[in-house]
Amino acid sequence: MNETYTIIGSTGLIGNELLKLMSNDESLHTIRLVNRRSVALKNDKTQQKIIDFQDEAAFREAIAGSDAVFVCVGTTHKKVKGDQIAYRKVDYDIPVNAARYCAETKVEKLLIVSSIGADVKSRNFYTRLKGEMEAAVTGFNLPLTIFFRPSMLLGQRKEFRLGESIGKMLMKPIGFLLPENYRPVQASFVAKTMLLAAKSSMSGHKVFHLREMKQMINV
């Protein structure tokens, strides 16, 4: 293989795990990172695109030529100070515009981190937003679109999130009691599944909960 894989949001928990996996994957020729700010590059096959995601031309150019695009962005209410419009610019606009530019530049594979419970009819702002994002992205009819819907993510974030840390402490002892798709999952596991899915011969529109991720890796 002589593939070019693009990660949008490589500084996040899953995006960083994806970068680690890709860096050690000899089948990948180029890893392209699309971020708002610069990050340290670990090898010669990694390229960096620092863009303003509202700059349509820069965003489109950053995606063009990719064999697969991985969208791993996400913000929090704390970061946007409760501003739902600002929240939407990250969790909705970026993946939807990524899908648009994939369609325009003939990128065939788009893999997006969504969330458990994503539903356009949800009363919860976050899960409704994720549902709206998925609906909009699906409308571009790319050859392959996969939404990954993990529950609580486990792993070492670069930033401290108090609520998430408390949630992890409460969930770990009782996680096995929850329905399978709602159990906490390691970010590295989600990343591994995403990379395997991108290399597969799958096509169409798919949704991966934890159950489908485990099936992908045969565990």
Domain boundaries, the chain: 3-217
pLDDT for residue 16: 94
pLDDT for residue 59: 98
User: Up-side HSE of residue 27: CA atoms within 13 Å toward CB?
Assistant: 7
The DSSP letter of residue 122 is -
Does domain 3-217 fall into CATH 1.10.3720.10? Answer: no
Which parts of the chain sit beneath pLDDT 50? Answer: 160-164, 166-168, 170
Q: Quick one: tokens of 198?
A: 């991108």
Give 116's contacts (C-beta < 8 A, 6+ positions apart): 127, 149, 150, 151, 181, 182, 209
Q: How many helices (H) and strands (E) does the chain have?
A: 8, 9
- What torsion do the CA atoms of 146, 86, 79, 82 make, to the nearest 10 degrees? -110
pTM of the model: 0.90
pLDDT for residue 188: 96
33-60 pLDDT tens trace:
999 988 888 788 999 999 999 999 999 9
The DSSP letter of residue 181 is G
The 10 Å CB-count burial string (b at 16+, else e) for 151-160 is bbbbbeeeee
pLDDT for residue 42: 76
Strand order in the sheet with 3-8: 46-50, 28-35, 3-8, 68-71, 109-113, 144-148, 204-208
- Residue 42's CB is within 10 A of a number of other CB atoms, namely 12
The DSSP letter of residue 191 is H
Give 130's contacts (C-beta < 8 A, 6+ positions apart): 91, 114, 115, 117, 118, 119
